[in-house]
Structure 1
Amino acid sequence: MHWSGHHIWMCVATREPPGCDGQTLKMFDQQRDGNLYKIWNRLCSGTWFPPPVLEKRIPKSNGKERILGIPTVSDRIAQGAIKLFMEEKLDPIFHADSYGYRPGKSAHDALKQCAIRCWRYSWILEVDISAFFDHVKHDLVLKALEHHGMPKWVILYCRRWMEAPMQSCENGELITRTRGTPQGGVISPLLANLFLHYAFDLWMEREYRGVPFERYADDIVVHCSRMSDATRLKNRLSERFSEVGLVLNAGKTNIAYIDTFKRRNVATSFTFLGYDFKVRTLKNFKGERYRKCVSVNGAPY
């Protein structure tokens, strides 16, 4: 494994709070070289055992909470080293319309592509997966890693990271995890992308070839020509996700009409990556009015 400790340090030196050991970035940095050597030595010898991730609860606008799992500083660096190794091999195989947490791609790339396709397609299927990161099946992730020829030591560490217990923020109790990959982990987005590459991206190519979509992690929008197409796809996605251990949130998976003609009793807006897309009356350069779906809260498209 190619190791550039200082490069990895810069990649993970964020403002994340300390993990279960209480060590901050500042404390780690006081003996950086020695600490980096210890991590490298244990990773190379197969003796890196991730400590528990620390539970952190983030309030959501709907009154519920998002649960994060915060690794220790040392474990973030260890994850960062393996992630860089894996990313070189996995990123080239990912779908062109997968935008989340990938080098050279961004949320704004996904929004721009979505806006362009809204001019060509009349219907939108806004897909919502219930608690996606909590339901990722470990065996399917490990199977995908084996399929792509990942070394056994990489698969070993990915298994350990996915199975690392979570330490309760209330009483310190260790919570065993048999599925899911913790939000807050450095390597979790890459494992999540690999999982959805097979659970959704390639399935769409196989079953609905030519139907375009944008996916940013588990935030997905699919473009359809007819309402009947969107309805059938919604039903099939529910079945597909059930096959791989996921749950389609039927209450938040919406169908919207975004074309020029007014329709009653049909949603005419959807939200993607925090931006609202709605049908609005616009004017062309001649001053003529027309209706089209546009982002109305700040996206420059």
Structure 2
Amino acid sequence: MDVRPVCDSILETIGDTPLVRISRLNPEPGVVLFAKIEGFNPMGSVKERIALRIVEEAERRGELKPGMTLLESSSGNTGIGVAMVGAVKGYPVVITIAQKVSVERRQILRALGATIVFTSPEGGSDEAWDLADRLHAEKPGTYFRIGQYLNPDNVRAHYEGTAEEVWRQTGGRVDWLVLTLGTCGTLVGMARRLKERNARLRVVSVEPQANHTQQGLRNMTESRVPEIMDWSLVDERMTVSDEDAYRTARDLALKEGIFAGISSGTVVFAALEVARRIKTGHIVTLLPDRGEKYLSTSLFPRGPDPS
């Protein structure tokens, strides 16, 4: 077994996450369902990939200079990734975020030294996006805007990184790619690269229902569509209810031993629907984060406290 060498910083542990076969939930013996487990990244989510890539490319281009503050709007995971990168590299970090995100995400951001600026109580990801834009416009020389919804380095992180990992791990056996939509960088980067590798690849984009509670995801009929989104890469769109997403996330823990977040339930539910339909083939999906950030929510059952 290969042993990973000593790392100079925690940032070197980002990426190269495992690809795991989903067996117990998969109803079709002719379908191989692989899940890329992004919870193995150091802060537990896929967003660390883009945080590191965007910051380091901005440094290389001279857009991000010592003394500047990293600024981003986030539903939690990207903000945590940015805060981790900022802590290692010595940049102050400001994250605009909706008040309704889980308590754990706020606590992790503060533990990493980030300053949190909240939206109004009713505000969502679009309001957090606008708030970050206003802060940047007020002090453009102070802040470096990560801009995950429009920054092409978001896409490149997955085009050059995540997609290549999947191709190597599967030995090129990817017939279907099923991914959720948040910033859209994961889908665009992976789909673009894997379609170059396999022109017959089918790509399914997965969105939550309208008025959903699936943190980190966007329903594109009620939210702003990120500028980096490329619909030409998508062959099919699916929508998943809160009930199905939550139930499948719980089933991942109970039947596969995979402790993952709400969006992982969303995407696995969709992948299982595809499996039932196609009967044979190889499906790849990606589980965006771990379950710890949702323990204060209704996702997982809570037992009685000791008396």
Asked if these proteins are the same fold (TM beyond 0.5), I'd say no
Relative to the length of structure 2, the TM-score reads 0.28
Larger Rg: 1
Relative to the length of structure 1, the TM-score reads 0.29
